[in-house]
Chain A
Amino acid sequence: MTTILSIKNLRKSYADGFEALKGVSLDIEQGEILALLGPNGAGKTTLISTVCGITTPTSGTVTVGGHDIQAEFRAARRLIGLVPQEIALEPFEKVWNTVRLSRGLFGHRRNDALIEEILRKLSLWDKRKNAIKELSGGMKRRVLIAKALAHEPRVLFLDEPTAGVDVELRKDMWEIVAELKQAGVTIILTTHYIEEAEAIADRVGVIDKGELLLVQDKDTLMAQMGKKQIEVMLTEPIATIPDTLAAHNLALNGNGDALVYTYDTNADRTGITTLLNDVAQAGLVLRDVQTRQSSLEEIFVNLVSGEPA
């Protein structure tokens, strides 16, 4: 794999002393989808803005496709597309013109066929002659995506692209992201929707208070940090957990008809066989058994709060 984006010890501090980025280092491979998770004010947008040239870094280096974002800003920026978090569009301009502007700004020759293809893919073709102000919020967000795609970026930043959009657009977005990945485009996505990261990301980065807490393969992260629970459902509800099962640290659900056992997926012995034997020994009759793995959301909340997952 080739590293397309390399961030080394990136810092950004403001005049009032606030440190938005505290030495972030991160390598992103070509063609991967990285989801950056973090609470509000964590530094996600600052990180993206710095890489894209909107914010000037205090120190550190960033290269895109081997080009330094400051010394070789033209070559670096040509490779980058950005879909910003806020809907920022000229309200009186037509969809077609605003998308065409983006292509020109990035130094590309006019290519109406490509713009048509992008607009059709984003269901904007019928709206191409409409002024931006006539579009719905979801449509405006599609225009932002079309603008970013119009200059054929190799690295695409999606800053909370599905914030406040309907389910249909979110699904469309995921499909577009999958298609771009197929075409070899590297995607860095910030999101509040954990299921979004869970559904489409290859790797997940967690950022908080300007520090990158971890970057890991999504499946590995879930396997390493995820808890797994087994729910033993009983035919008859019980009021208390029998003393013979105390060693298993079980929890009883609200109805008293299910025992919840939490175990480490990476442990050599999960203790499930012993548990099931002990449950039978205690005279309890099983109705059903089901397992549940902790979601990325739980992992994320635990990481940010500093508690073990």
Chain B
Amino acid sequence: MNWSAIAAIYRFEMARFFRTLAQSFFSPVLSTSLYFVVFGTAIGSRIQEVEGVSYGAFIVPGLIMLSVVMLAISNASFGIYFPKFLGTIYELLSAPVNFIEIVIGYVGAAATKALFVGFVILITASFFVDLQIEHPVAMVAFLVLTCLSFSLLGFIIGIWASNFEQMSLVPQLVVTPLIFLGGTFYSISMLPPVWQTITLFNPVVYLISGFRWSFYGLADVPIGYSLLAIVVFTGACLGFIWWIFKTGWRIRS
């Protein structure tokens, strides 16, 4: 393993994050506060409780997932797309590094940034609602796994994209609808039976359900399924990235 290379990529990517630290910090704080004002107060006043949890507290895990997933994707996709766009990828391709080291460096940095924002949102939320975390270890594990798996997806998007429009295509047209329809702001049990069945085909449901379970012990789907879903998703992304570097798809002519 070329640990120096992993550290170098990670440090370089984190430097980009630290250059805009204030923006990285205040942006999630502001957006979370707005969600609480709009959803927590306006809608929450009409929905008192969801399965014994106040509506404001109920949406916290979903809100964290929403931001973390989007950030993980954008951080990782920009991280690898930028060298492609600028031409600096020549150095990465000519360096004595393999795909595992490149992925650890880029995805590790993207996941770290997303994780940071996840905790910022969690702390911000604690100022608005009374939070309880029944399974803190599972909560951290779910958060870390989500950051990693969606950073892997972002990495794939960054390699696939050949322009900036394509970079936002998947997050906006696929991921955002899946998150909003994945039980971020409601429990699946609140839906009509047909929609409950359809919703189960949305992989994000398993993530949010598992994450919410770690907070309140409430889950739309069994926790085992949630874990399996995230592990399968991570494995699929890793397999696809392995194939990318094996074939040189979109990176090596």
State the A residues within 8 Å of B (CB).
14, 49, 52-56, 73-78, 80, 82, 84, 86, 88-93, 97, 100-109, 147
Contacts and interface: CB of A to CB of B under 8 A. Distances in A.
Given A89-B86, A100-B8, A105 B95 contact: yes
A147 B91 CA distance: 9
A84 B87 contact: yes
Given A86-B87, A105-B91, 7 more contacts: A54-B253, A77-B95, A82-B91, A84-B90, A88-B91, A101-B8, A101-B12
A105 B253 contact: no
A89 B88 contact: yes
Nearest to A94: B15
Contacts of B5: 104-107
Contacts of A101: 8-9, 11-12, 91
A80 B90 CA distance: 13
Range of interface residues on chain B?
20 to 34
B46 interface: no
A101 B88 CA distance: 12
A75 B97 CA distance: 10
A169 B22 CA distance: 40
B16 interface: yes
Contacts of A88: 86-88, 90-91
Contact of B96 (A55, A74, A84): A74
B131 interface: no
B200 interface: no
B8 A82 contact: no
Nearest to A54: B93
Contacts of A49: 90, 253
A68 to B, nearest CB: 13
B87 A93 contact: no
Nearest to A53: B94
A80 B120 CA distance: 43
A106 B11 CA distance: 15
B249 to A, nearest CB: 11
A102 B91 CA distance: 8
B136 interface: no
Contacts of B8: 100-101, 103-105
Interface string B120-156: 0000000000000000000000000000000000000
Contacts of B97: 105
Ranked nearest first, the 8 interchain pairs of A and B with the lowest CB-CB distance are A104-B8, A88-B87, A74-B96, A52-B94, A105-B95, A77-B96, A54-B93, A107-B2
Nearest to A131: B19
B222 interface: no
Contacts of A107: 2, 4-5, 96
B92 interface: yes
Nearest to B97: A105
A90 B19 contact: no
A76 B82 CA distance: 27
Contacts of A78: 96
A91 B98 CA distance: 26
B250 interface: no
Nearest to A92: B19
Contacts of B82: 90
B88 A53 contact: no
A92 B94 CA distance: 22
Nearest to B88: A88
Nearest to B82: A90
Q: Which of A82, A89, A97, A106 neighbours the largest number of chain B CB atoms within 10 Å of its CB?
A: A106
Nearest to A55: B253
Contact of A56 (B12, B16, B94, B248): B248
Contacts of A75: 96
Nearest to A72: B96
Nearest to B252: A56
A14 B253 contact: yes
B7 interface: yes
Contacts of B16: 92-93
A117 to B, nearest CB: 19
Contacts of A82: 90-91, 94
Q: Which of A49, A86, A88 neighbours the largest number of chain B CB atoms within 10 Å of its CB?
A: A88
